[in-house]
Amino acid sequence: MPRNTVLIIDYGSQVTQLIARRVREAGVYSEIHPFDTDMAKIKALSPAAIILSGGPASVGEANAPDLNPGLLELNVPILGICYGMQLLAKTLAGKLATSTTREYGPAELTCTQASPLWQGLPDKDLRVWMSHGDRVLEVPKGFEIIGKTATLDIAAMADPTRNIYAVQFHPEVHHTEEGHRILQNFLFEICKIKADWSMSNFVAEEIARLRNEVGERHVVCALSGGIDSTVVAVLLHRAIGHRLHCIFVDNGLLRAGEAKNVTEYLGKHLDLNLIHVQAGSRFLSRLTGVDDPEKKRKIIGHTFIEIFDEEAKKLPKVDFLAQGTLYPDVIESVSSRGPSAVIKSHHNVGGLPETMKLKLIEPLRELFKDEVRKVGQELGLPDQIIWRQPFPGPGLAIRVLGQVTEDRLVILRHADQIVQEEMHTSGYDRKVWQGFAVLLPLRTVGVMGDDRTYEHVIALRVVDSVDAMTADWSRLPYDLLARISSRIINEVKGVNRVVYDVSSKPPSTIEWE
């Protein structure tokens, strides 16, 4: 772990991850931990600074998350954001007012007093983003008011002696003008932290760490061809060479040309020790007659594990399993809001047979998706891999709604290929999180020439997102949507209608199943 670590205490805000991202973008390593993390663990992390996140609770309600007083005893700079500011006021004997309504949206911040937090900001009121119910009525002893808005006499406060600062708005969101500068002022002007977190440093340190951890032993890796598993494989290949064994399973549910592209590039060009298993018939036979999405996922997951186990047994003695777990996966598993609901049961490898007794290696578990792409660039991977859009583990089986058959897969592959081609030609494949086609389990009436048709419907799903935890539908240009629709209807046999999904996540999910 880098020497300078900023610890973010999570009180349940939907944008806590953005704080971590903004800190990392400034070149400083950050970690998110829930509010009830044991103090012994926090002390062991030796944080250089602490940021208290926002949250949906009211500080005055029963069972509301509280501030561990031990954090104040660490004698490191603290920044409270929104709920974090209110907790500081409550814990340090300030006065609060509990509101029955929330202030949500833009406000104009006036910096009422000079502060290192405002260093270098424009000499004018700043547009900031509010999302709170409670508010501070009186600052604790030792604090001074350094900012206000039209509705809040205390929108920011500071105790320079103890290096404790707090703001009622959210500097981490892009709606807050100069929010990045405010966070950087906290890191560099107040905390005096050195920016030592970069992807080039990460690559060198991680390869050395993996080489030391694995030694002369062997590692097996499930390789999908996506950016996460590919970066894991290349890092390990650089560290241990051909003692890494990559298994690529073609489950018959991949996109057009995907199996060929993955095996040719990763096996030949990257010189990975790649085992290509063609198992499409096994997967499709087990999916026959199944239309429930959860059953599909479980069948695919179990079949994959079965094949993976069969192939692993053919290898030299393997001691490690490498996975492409990312930091959002880690955060969700220790959410401050309790165990996450089961949204989808299949994720990467899932649970492997206990008889394999492999130790996990997760080189990317500290990184966000955009950071993984930067690692890919540092490793010299081509754009076709770095910018490959996220693809679900169960593949096209959950984009063919209803029963999965070879005929329906052919229709969806062709339609999706057109989507990918048009998104790439227009440049929108780099502007959105992902875009894909879905084959719906219904048919509609249409007219082609002089004939009446009764054929399939393709849904187009394109979303904007940062990390897939939330997403919004992409506002694609009408002419691009028109080209995609026209090509699909004219070129894909069996389709006479294309619809566009305009729902966000939440309440919807990105995938349809």
Torsion of CA 20, 25, 28, 34, to 10 degrees: 0
Report the chain's terminal Cα–Cα distance, integer Å.
38
Residue 225 in 3-state DSSP? coil
Strand partners, 454: 445
Residue 187 exposure: Cα atoms within 13 Å on the Cβ side = 26
Q: How many CB atoms lie within 10 A of CB 118?
A: 23
170 is catalytic: yes
Give the span between the Cα atoms of 69 and 50, in whole angstroms. Answer: 13
Residue 271 in 3-state DSSP? coil
Q: How many CB atoms lie within 10 A of CB 385?
A: 21
Closest CA to 16 of 335, 363, 461: 335
Residue 169 in 3-state DSSP? strand
Do the Cβ atoms of 228 and 324 come closer than 8 Å?
Answer: yes
Q: How many CB atoms lie within 10 A of CB 416?
A: 23
Residue 152 neighbours by CB under 8 Å, 6+ apart: 103, 107, 135, 168
269 is catalytic: no
Residue 341 neighbours by CB under 8 Å, 6+ apart: none
Residue 205 exposure: Cα atoms within 13 Å on the Cβ side = 10
Q: How many CB atoms lie within 10 A of CB 209?
A: 14
Beta strand segments in 378-494, E: 434-448, 451-464, 472-473
H helices of 215-292, where? 227-240, 258-262, 280-287
The single residue of 33, 82, 237, 246 carrying the catalytic annotation is 82
Closest CA to 34 of 325, 332, 327, 329: 332
82 is catalytic: yes
The single residue of 170, 245, 346, 414 carrying the catalytic annotation is 170
**Maximum distance among all alpha carbons in the chain?**
83
Do the Cβ atoms of 327 and 366 come closer than 8 Å?
Answer: yes
Give the span between the Cα atoms of 168 and 187, in whole angstroms. Answer: 18
Closest CA to 197 of 371, 368, 29: 29
Residue 186 neighbours by CB under 8 Å, 6+ apart: 49, 51, 77, 79, 117, 165
The single residue of 132, 172, 221, 456 carrying the catalytic annotation is 172
Please give the positions annotated as active site: 82, 170, 172
